[in-house]
Structure 1
């Protein structure tokens, strides 16, 4: 039986980052992956596929150009499932090849098969050929990720009534779709298929959605979805789902309303993939959703040498944060110093339109009784927005009136998940509104919205004897043009 300094179960974002970090510290590392190829949920059914599907839909439909050429503009008139799969397969192959190369370059050993605990330090792996192999580790990191929640009363058939993993294997693009669940996964897929001109209805038992996002952003998002005829049905649950004789799906809600569609996507949560791990043998117990409780600073479980990271530990369940969790866990597991990650991290929702946020929401600021001011910039106020034909999109920042520090940045619209990193840096460096007012941004760019939003807040804050800066996007344009003219002369 081979022994390793660190055994990592799962090769998703948390697992691969942990394995490579430990290997760079010259430790012996083994990655056990149940799937036939490395990458985990993130590469094969989650993050990468859903974002690839989104980009494919936006490109083939000509979505980004409709501000100039009208709603009837299409790059490809008839888009089928094969069009969506083609780009997906190319992307996934590239991701797997990169990861395989990283493992080989850092001498990370791999073992394909399903792992289960025999005792706290020993795992038994059922390999693809059916053979059993036992391995032991000084430390073990569980990074097995999650799988879709599939309640027994939903008649999943893999064709018309499906979960989010099965969605990637559909044979046709449905003309109508009912999405059960308005969480991040449900709303991402709902908005993507809406961009593909599918008639989409979303059913959510709560009266709101995306409660961790700033309400002003959610309200703008909701308006945009309804403006393109998406049906958002809040406060209702799907009591019964069935296939009708003609092949269509019938969804009966608890208020008696009946929805008909070609396809139903059930996306109401995910559960930790811990069922085969035999956690009892190592002294661990998962909660009702298959999640493990860990020390948030070290990611140790209640068994000190066993760590857990990634989606299996719960919120925020992001690929980006999972990578950092895996890195920190690996360093602690092999006895290397590990610093805590910065306080603020960005959260991205790859819907159509994108949403990204970092820091406190306005609701959180109010709850903490912090005197504050907000600044808002609409993308249509920027020259770059005009060039791109953007009619929607906004950036919102929240500042403390007392310290002038940035407290939160919230963006909806094209490039939101890229733009947010400017605000993230200022947040973690404890920057103030003056940074945005006094700094220079490339022109024309959407990042100029930071300047406009900063000025919007600055104009309503106490300034003291300071001279007021330029106050509008138009005057910014004038100032820049005057500078160019002076430079040319």
Structure 2
């Protein structure tokens, strides 16, 4: 029986990063992956392929406005969805192959098959051909991730009623795509197909899309997407989804009790994700699950079995790839006797629509609920020279700072390159910076980052210079 210091179950961003860090710290490490490719949901059917399609569809949208820049394109511009999907898959394959390279580079043993506990220290790996082998693990890190959720009355047939996985490999551009759920996944994939020519309708139970983000952010991205043609039905509770041939019928009830009926050729169910522990046999190892199906962990991400840890989507907290990575590193360093720390308040959240949406720290709604005295500084991208030059004037930067100490409590961005800009906020908040601290730092001109400095100036005695 092969024996390892650490065995990681699951090769997503949390799992493979945990394995690399364990190997770097001198531990004999193995990783178990049930699928034939490494990288988990993120690399194969999540973050990477969706960003590839977002990029391709963005190019298609931009080329239609080249004339505004004095670039004349003759002939009809067409979408070749088959080629677009093929490019997406090539990006996925290259990225997954990169993870395999990293496993080899760090001398990490890879087992392909379903990993399930026989005991707290032994794991059975069942391969696709039915054969199996058992390995021994001094410590185990569970990183089995999540799967798309649904509603009890919805039958997902993966043909017309689909999840994000199927939406990434459609063979045709939908005529009318009805999206159930106005969260990150719904808006991102909705914008992909909106750009390619689909009519897109979003049905959301909450009173706004992106309900966990700052209200101003939600309002702004809704305005931008509405202008582009996306339709929203917020405060609507889905009552039923039926398929009749190539037609999908979605019925939903609004706040007044009225029933609306939407008909489309595809319906994307994007109502969140659930922790994935199927086949793990956690109980055999003494690992307890919560009522929500998550693996129960303490502040050190240790499960109810002292030598077994869990990270990422399968435990509490935001289901974000970079959150899982941080947790993977934390567990590895703890096993090596170090004392790492994660501040979950400083894990940024990003929506890769265009304009992008990014946030870190507290929302204005949260600060109000906590009774915290705060001040707001906001600056619109339309007042920025770089934004006008690039024709990316939608959105703003919003900074929330403590009213007394001026410490930055949260930053919320809707705009071009927001996903990259939010890193400045994370660094500032990690070092407990004040809004004034940012105002004292030189920001290159002309850049999108100048909007952050201007928002900080606005939060500091309303001193913004360019509005």
| Structure 2 gaps, min length 5 | none
1:37 matched to 2:40? The reply is no
Label 1:369 to 1:251 Cα distance change in 2 as closer, same or farther (>3 A).
Answer: closer
1:292 matched to 2:295? The reply is yes
Match of residue 426 from structure 1: 428
Is contact 1:67-1:389 (8 Å) kept? Answer: no
Match of residue 341 from structure 1: 342
Return the alpha-carbon distance in structure 2 between the equivalents of residues 114 and 92 of structure 1. 22
Alpha-carbon offset, residue 258 of structure 1 = 1.1
Match of residue 451 from structure 2: 449
Label 1:442 to 1:224 Cα distance change in 2 as closer, same or farther (>3 A).
Answer: same
Return the alpha-carbon distance in structure 2 between the equivalents of residues 458 and 150 of structure 1. 45
Helix, strand or coil at the partner of 1:339: coil
Match of residue 266 from structure 1: 269
Match of residue 375 from structure 1: 377
Query: After the TM superposition, which of the residue ranges 418-427 and 233-242 deviates more from structure 2?
Result: 233-242
Return the alpha-carbon distance in structure 2 between the equivalents of residues 222 and 134 of structure 1. 52
Return the alpha-carbon distance in structure 1 between the equivalents of residues 168 and 103 of structure 2. 27
Is contact 1:62-1:74 (8 Å) kept? Answer: no
Label 1:207 to 1:67 Cα distance change in 2 as closer, same or farther (>3 A).
Answer: farther
TM-score, structure 1 normalization? 0.89
Helix, strand or coil at the partner of 1:375: strand
Match of residue 362 from structure 1: 364
Q: How does 1:130-209 map to 2 (within 5 A)?
A: 130-151=130-151, 153-209=153-209
Match of residue 313 from structure 2: 311
Instruction: Name the count of aligned residue pairs.
Output: 461
Return the alpha-carbon distance in structure 1 between the equivalents of residues 382 and 31 of structure 2. 48
Label 1:402 to 1:103 Cα distance change in 2 as closer, same or farther (>3 A).
Answer: same
Return the alpha-carbon distance in structure 2 between the equivalents of residues 280 and 73 of structure 1. 62
Q: How does 1:2-21 map to 2 (within 5 A)?
A: 2-21=2-21
Match of residue 438 from structure 2: 436
Is contact 2:217-2:412 (8 Å) kept? Answer: yes
Is contact 2:288-2:303 (8 Å) kept? Answer: no
Return the alpha-carbon distance in structure 2 between the equivalents of residues 209 and 184 of structure 1. 9
Match of residue 95 from structure 1: 95
Label 1:354 to 1:281 Cα distance change in 2 as closer, same or farther (>3 A).
Answer: same
Query: After the TM superposition, which of the residue ranges 386-395 and 75-84 deviates more from structure 2?
Result: 75-84
Return the alpha-carbon distance in structure 1 between the equivalents of residues 214 and 375 of structure 2. 14
Return the alpha-carbon distance in structure 2 between the equivalents of residues 459 and 180 of structure 1. 43
Label 1:156 to 1:397 Cα distance change in 2 as closer, same or farther (>3 A).
Answer: same
Render the CA deviation track for 1:441-476: whole Å, top value 9, x for unaligned: 11110111122212222234xxxxxxxx7x5227xx
Is contact 1:164-1:266 (8 Å) kept? Answer: yes
Match of residue 62 from structure 2: 62
Alpha-carbon offset, residue 412 of structure 1 = 0.4
Alpha-carbon offset, residue 47 of structure 1 = 1.1
Return the alpha-carbon distance in structure 1 between the equivalents of residues 76 and 275 of structure 2. 39
Query: After the TM superposition, which of the residue ranges 53-62 and 223-232 deviates more from structure 2?
Result: 223-232
Helix, strand or coil at the partner of 1:257: strand
Alpha-carbon offset, residue 293 of structure 1 = 1.8
Label 1:103 to 1:9 Cα distance change in 2 as closer, same or farther (>3 A).
Answer: same
TM-score, structure 2 normalization? 0.93
1:282 matched to 2:285? The reply is yes
Match of residue 466 from structure 1: none
Render the CA deviation track for 1:77-125: whole Å, top value 9, x for unaligned: 2214213212212211221222111111110000000111111211111
- Structure label with greater radius of gyration: 1
Alpha-carbon offset, residue 370 of structure 1 = 2.9
| Structure 1 gaps, min length 5 | 461-468, 475-489
User: 2:399 pairs with 397, 400, 406, which one?
Assistant: 397
Alpha-carbon offset, residue 438 of structure 1 = 2.2
Render the CA deviation track for 1:152-176: whole Å, top value 9, x for unaligned: 5323222211111121221111121
Return the alpha-carbon distance in structure 2 between the equivalents of residues 267 and 180 of structure 1. 6
Label 1:319 to 1:22 Cα distance change in 2 as closer, same or farther (>3 A).
Answer: same
Return the alpha-carbon distance in structure 2 between the equivalents of residues 425 and 263 of structure 1. 42
Is contact 1:62-1:75 (8 Å) kept? Answer: no
Render the CA deviation track for 1:317-375: whole Å, top value 9, x for unaligned: 1111110101111222x342131024512111112321100111122222333332211
Alpha-carbon offset, residue 19 of structure 1 = 0.5
Helix, strand or coil at the partner of 1:49: helix
Match of residue 113 from structure 2: 113
Render the CA deviation track for 1:9-55: whole Å, top value 9, x for unaligned: 00001101110111111111110000101111111011111111111
Q: Which runs of 4+ in 1 moved over 4 A?
A: 63-67, 72-76
Is contact 1:58-1:64 (8 Å) kept? Answer: no
Render the CA deviation track for 1:199-246: whole Å, top value 9, x for unaligned: 11111222233232111111111222222232211222322222224x
Match of residue 487 from structure 1: none
Match of residue 251 from structure 1: 250
